[in-house]
Structure 1
Amino acid sequence: MSGLLEVITLHAADAERAEAGGADRIELCGTLDDGGLSPEPALVEKVRAATSVQLRVMVRLRAGYGTDGGEAVRLKGLMASYADAGADGMVLGFLNQMGEVDVQVVGELVADGDWPWTFHRAIDSTLYPDRGWALLRQLPRLDQVLTAGSARDLAHGLDDVLQRAASDPWRARVIMAGGGLHPDHVPWLARAGVRAFHIGKPARPQGSYKAYVDVDLVRSWRRLIDTEVRHASG
Structure 2
Amino acid sequence: MALLEVACFDPKHAILAFEAGADRIELCENREAGGTTPPLVWLTSIKSRITVPILVMIRPRGGDFDYSDAEYEQMKTAIEVFKPFADGYVFGILDQDRKVHVAKNVELVRLAHPLPCTFHRAFDETPDPFEAFEDVSSAGFRAILSSGCAATASAGNQILAQLVEMSNGTRERITVMPGGGVRSKNIAAMKAYTRATIFHSAGILEGMASPSADEIRGMKHLLRTPITSLPPPMSC
**Residue identity in the other structure for 1:216:** D
Question: CA deviation digits over 1:147-184, x for unaligned, max 9?
Answer: 11124222431221123323551478511011012433
Whole-angstrom distance in 2 between the partners of 1:155 and 1:218: 18
- Is this contact kept in 2: 1:190–1:228, CA < 8 A? no
Correspondence for 2:222 among 216, 221, 224: 224
Note the C-alpha offset of 1:215: 2.0
**Alignment length, in residue pairs?**
225
2:175 corresponds to which residue?
A: 174
State how 1:1-234 maps to structure 2 within 5 Å.
2-62=1-61, 63-84=63-84, 86-113=85-112, 114-140=114-140, 142-170=141-169, 174-182=175-183, 183-200=185-202, 203-206=203-206, 208=208, 210-211=209-210, 213-228=211-226
TM-score relative to the length of structure 2? 0.87
Tell me, which stretches of 5 or more residues in structure 2 are unaligned? 231-236
Q: 1:31 to 1:188 in 2, by over 3 A?
A: closer
- Compare 131-140 and 166-175 and name the one that shifted more: 166-175
Question: CA deviation digits over 1:9-57, x for unaligned, max 9?
Answer: 1222111111111111011112113211111111121121332221001
Question: Once the two structures are aligned, what percentage of the paired residues are identical?
Answer: 28
Which fold has the larger relative contact order, with Cα–Cα distance below 8 Å and residues 6 or more apart in sequence? 1
Q: 1:231 to 1:103 in 2, by over 3 A?
A: farther
Note the C-alpha offset of 1:206: 3.5
**Residue identity in the other structure for 1:192:** T
RMSD, aligned α-carbons: 2.1
Tell me, which stretches of 5 or more residues in structure 1 are unaligned? none
Whole-angstrom distance in 2 between the partners of 1:176 and 1:89: 15
Q: Which has the higher helix share?
A: 1
Question: CA deviation digits over 1:62-89, x for unaligned, max 9?
Answer: 22111122221111111111122x1100
Q: 1:6 to 1:168 in 2, by over 3 A?
A: closer
Whole-angstrom distance in 2 between the partners of 1:195 and 1:67: 31
Q: 1:30 to 1:230 in 2, by over 3 A?
A: farther
